[in-house]
Amino acid sequence: MRCGGENGYKELKPRDKCGVIGAVGSSPVATDIYYALRIVQHRGQESAGIAVFDGEIKVKKGMGLAHEVFSKEDLQDLGGTAGMGHVRYSTTGSSAVENAQPISCTTEYGGIALAHNGDIVNSDALRKELQKRGWAFMTSSDSEVIVRLLANEISSTGDVIRALREFTKKLVGSYSLVIMIGERVFGMRDPLAVRPLCIGRGNGLRMIASESVVFDTLGMRFLRDVKPGEIVELTKEGFESWRLPHPTHTAHCMFEWLYFARPDSLLDGRLVYDARVKVGEQLAKEHPVKADIVMPVPESGRAQAQGYSRASGLPLVEGLIKNRYIERTFIMPDQSEREIGVLLKLNPVRSAIKGKRVVLVDDSIVRGTTIRKIVQIIREAGAKEIHLRIGCPPIKAPCYLGIDMKTRDQFIANKKTVPEITTYITADTLGYISIQGMIRSLRQAREDLCLGCLTGEYPVKIPGERVRPEKPLEEFAEEPPKPARPRRKTSKKRI
C-alpha cells in the first residue's frame, strides 16, 4: 500500500486511483474542467492535468492539487471547446510528474490524450509486446500502455470506433477512461463497470465525470451512469453510444460506496450517503452495545455513525475535530512522526467525551496503527469505554483493480484475530460489519460487486489468485454495430 503524506500524516487508508473528466461545449471548456477537478479532488491529490483541443491537443499538468497546478492564465491559454481532465493518486507507476495525466501521444491520424481511473492487470505484458514493436515509453504508468495500445490500433485500422472496440479486448483489469482523439471526446467503462463513470449536461456542456456530484455542483443535470462496456462519444448535439461485449453481472467496487466516493454522489443507482447510513444501521443491529454516545472518525465514519445512532437510539456527538488546514504539509517517514501527525490532524472535545461510554465508528481498518492512535486520543480525553465499529468487513487480500493495497502482509486482519486486534488498538470491543450485512446495506446483488479484497476471489484472471465463478468475457457476444450513416444523420440521442 502506498501511504502518502498529502493528508497531513501517513494515513493508512485505502487509496483510489484518480478522477476523470471530459467535456464538449460551445465555448472554451478548460475552466469548467478545472472546477470539475476541484469537485473530484478527493479521488486524487498527487497531480492534476487538463488537455484541450485547440487546433491541436494542448496539455497542462503538474504535481499538487488542482488549484496549485493551474493559474487563471493557464486556463485562459487552454482554449478549445473539447477537453478532458484528471486528478491522480498513484497505484501503478510512481508519484512523479512524468506519470501525471492526461497522457498524450501523436499518431499519423492526429493527437490522442487519455485519462484513466483503474488498474490494468496485464500492463507489463502489454508494455513488453509494444516495446518489441518499437514503441518507446516515457512513464511507468499503465495508462501510457493503454494510450499507446490505442494509438497502435488506430494506426492499424484507420477507424476510430473500430480501434476503440478492438484495443479493449487486450486489456485485463479495470478502466474508466476519458479519451480525446483529435477534437472527439469519448468515455469508456470496462465491461465489469468496476470504477464509476457517468454523464451529464447543462450550461451548454456535455460532460463525463467519475462522480455525479460534479453535475450537481456545476448546476448541470445528471443523466445516467455509463453502462458496463459502453463507449460514449460526447458531441455538441448530444452523444453516441456503442457497447462492448459484457457479462450478465458487473463487479462494482464496494469501496466506492464505503469510502472513496463523496457521500452526495449517486453511483449505479445508489446514493452513497444512503448506503453509508444503512451500513451504520446494520452495524448497530449486528454489534449492539451499552453506551452513552456515538462518535464518528471524521470524515470517513460520519454517515455510518449517523446510521448507528439512528438504529441504536444513542446520541451522535462530534467528539473529534479535524484540522482542515493541514493538507499536504507534512511528510512523515517513521511511526513516531505519524503519531504526531494524527495529533495535528485530530483533536478531541474533552467535555463531550469525559466519563462517557463511546461507540467509535469508522469505515475500515488496514494496518490498525492509525485507529490505534485515535482510540488512545479518545481514551486520554477521559472516555470510560471505547467500542469500535467498522463499516467494512476485515480486509485480507490485495486489490489489483485500482486501490493501492498490493500485499497481504499489510493487513492486520491476516495477522491477528478480532480479539487480538481489539487488544492491539486498545479498544474495549471491536465489531466489523459482516459481508452479507454490507451487501444488504449497499442494495446490490453479491454477484454485481467486486469483493476481492475481502474474499480473495476476483472478477478477472490474476496470476496466482482465485477467479469468481463466471463465464469468460470472451464468451459474451458483441452487440452488432449500428448501420453506417452520414455523420449528421446518425442515431444520436439528444440530451
Q: Residue 347: CB partners within 8 Å, gap ≥ 6?
A: 320, 321, 323
The answer to whether 323 and 347 are in contact (CB under 8 A) is yes
- Write the DSSP string, 127-189: HHHHHHTT---S-S-HHHHHHHHHHHHHHHHS-HHHHHHHHGGG--B--EEEEEETTEEEEEE
Residues tagged active-site: 18
Residue 212 CA to residue 410 CA, distance in Å, equals 33
295-324: string of b/e by CB count within 10 Å (b at 16+)? bbbbebbbbbbbbbbbbbebebbebbeeee
Give, in order, the Cα–Cα distances in Å from 44 to each of 37, 140, 162, 179, 346.
9, 18, 31, 19, 22
Residue 263 CA to residue 275 CA, distance in Å, equals 9
Say if strands 184-189 and 176-181 run parallel, antiparallel, or are unpaired.
antiparallel
Burial class (CB in 10 A: 0-12, 13-18, 19+), 325: exposed
User: Grid cell 483533536 — which residue?
Assistant: 347
Residue 303 CA to residue 275 CA, distance in Å, equals 9
H or E stretch including 286? helix 272-286
The answer to whether 214 and 187 are in contact (CB under 8 A) is no
Question: CA neighbours within 13 Å on the CB side: how many for 120?
Answer: 26
Using DSSP's 3-state secondary structure scheme, residue 343 falls into: helix
The answer to whether 85 and 34 are in contact (CB under 8 A) is yes
Q: Which of 222, 301, 235 is nearest to 267 (CA)?
A: 222
